[in-house]
Structure 1
């Protein structure tokens, strides 16, 4: 939860988040986020302000900690945040998953740091838009992003495609595409 919270704030330094938004994005209770935000504000990593009854937080970019921490978050947690933002706004995307070595490391499997990020997109988005999205994500994440598109029918089929069988048998990280993108 800490890593995902830091990645969200540090990889989107111009955006302010309410405690409720952070909790929804990270998938934990607002109380858990509040405790962590208190620690991060106290440590000088985040800054906060009040607007009425809401507490808004964002990354502090004016400290020596910002750059190395944001790079660390980009490498270790960034793909979930970056790819969710990119794919949530793309028409024709039904579901999306990170798979391969990055998903395996994220799920705790030991191994070398992944050199790339493999993404499976379920749906019928425009191929050129997916290519552009992968190029931009690669730039932001500083590693290659490989996107593979499959139809809803192919993903739902129980057998057949050896590639999809292997993807299903290995760790997957589903991207929450139901979040609002600004």
Structure 2
């Protein structure tokens, strides 16, 4: 099933893989790393990497028994495809990178229309990205982070903060109740950031 975020792609895995690699052009990934970051088997990643290297979108090299993959930035496809991945699947890798390093962040979720499209709900492309940060990070740092993410993603990023206690209470705050009732995409803040 093609993903609702960018229906021209074959799968959500393809979108996540392209976003991760194209939005970190300076980094090389092993097949095992990509599989872990995208949440699929190494075999599935290997098949996709074979297609993308064959098409000139990615480049690879062998180091011992490992195959390292990175974005091929020397082609006319790189910039427009990278921009397309940033506005469609880009919120996950970008927000994971910036929030993983912010002190006081316990958990983070994308919610709203972006999360709905990511989870397969049909609809128009999301105009913005809504993020819920659970914890007690500095409010000014969060504001700066939202501004930078908005600039890099080419769309508004709205960040809301909730305490761990409020998030875990499951009652009381109507806003948090409504966020929980709709699709959520939890960001994996424990992963190694590039």
Q: Do Structure 1 and Structure 2 share a fold, with TM-score over 0.5?
A: yes
1:35 is matched with 47
Distance in 2 (CA, whole Å) between partners of 1:167 and 1:153 is 15
Over residues 47-98 of structure 1, what are the superposed CA-to-partner deviations in whole Å (9 max), with x where a residue is unaligned? 0011222111100011111112111111110001100111111111111000
Q: Does 1:177 align with 2:189?
A: yes
Distance in 2 (CA, whole Å) between partners of 1:50 and 1:126 is 43
In structure 2, stretches of 5+ residues that fail to align are 1-12
1:105 Cα deviation (Å)?
Answer: 1.3
1:114 is matched with 126
1:13 Cα deviation (Å)?
Answer: 0.8
| Count of residues in Structure 1 that have an aligned counterpart in Structure 2 | 182
2:148 is matched with 136
Give the SS at the match of 2:108. strand
1:2 is matched with 14
Alignment of 1:88-99 (within 5 A): 88-99=100-111
Equivalent in 23, 41, 45 of residue 11 of structure 1:
23
1:102 is matched with 114
Once the two structures are overlaid, the 10-residue window that deviates more, 99-108 or 160-169, is: 99-108
User: TM-score, normalized by length of structure 2?
Assistant: 0.91
Distance in 2 (CA, whole Å) between partners of 1:158 and 1:175 is 20
Q: Does 1:68 align with 2:111?
A: no
1:78 is matched with 90
1:57 is matched with 69
1:120 Cα deviation (Å)?
Answer: 0.1
Question: Please, what is the CA RMSD of the aligned residues?
Answer: 0.9
In structure 1, stretches of 5+ residues that fail to align are none
Distance in 2 (CA, whole Å) between partners of 1:24 and 1:132 is 29
Give the SS at the match of 2:110. strand
1:21 is matched with 33
